[in-house]
Amino acid sequence: MEKIRNIKRILVGVDASDDAQLAFRVAIHRARELGADLYIVNVIEDHDINVYEKLDDDFMRRKRSMHGETLTKYKQLAEEAGVKNVKIISVEGNPGKTIVKDVIPSVKPDLLIVGSIGKQGVRKYFGSQAAYMAKYSPVSVLVVR
């Protein structure tokens, strides 16, 4: 129980899936309950963008802007729910690897909260981002479903 009290930074991964929405709500509750800082990360997935889109500056600018607006809404929701210190992070790449290798080392969270299912249909069977993060994360991971 003492270890729970040492949680000062919570990192939550969000996307459009129902599980990620639930993970976000759990993260808000934990951050408020523990008085922890909340970091909200969204990854613009490389494999969702074809090479032509990637080379199109206008397309990428719109994509980044859209993700930024979504993250700003998440931040507002967390603040309205009573979380004192909320920060947002938008990165590009493979979600699991980018969060584990880039985001966690820079944020230094005490806890990572993620949803268990990020994609629907066939793509969810080709590997779970949540499983990757749970296996390779240097910090504790709470997988929500």
Which CATH number covers residue 28?
3.40.50.620
Look up the domain containing 39 and give its range: 2-144
Query: Residue 142 pLDDT more than 80?
Result: yes
Q: Spell out the residues 6+ positions from residue 48 whose beta carbon is closer than 8 angstroms to its own.
A: none
Whether 133 contacts 99, CB under 8 Å = yes
Query: Residue 5 pLDDT more than 70?
Result: no
Question: Residue 95: phi, psi to the nearest 5?
Answer: -55, -55
Bigger pLDDT: 122 vs 115:
115
> How many folded domains does the chain comprise?
1
pLDDT at 1: 43
Query: Residue 98 pLDDT more than 70?
Result: yes
The terminus-to-terminus CA distance of the chain in angstroms comes to 23
Q: Spell out the residues 6+ positions from residue 121 whose beta carbon is closer than 8 angstroms to its own.
A: none
Bigger pLDDT: 65 vs 33:
33
Mean pLDDT (the chain) is 85
Question: Stretch 47-67: mean pLDDT, rounded?
Answer: 66
Query: Residue 47 pLDDT more than 80?
Result: no
pLDDT at 21: 92
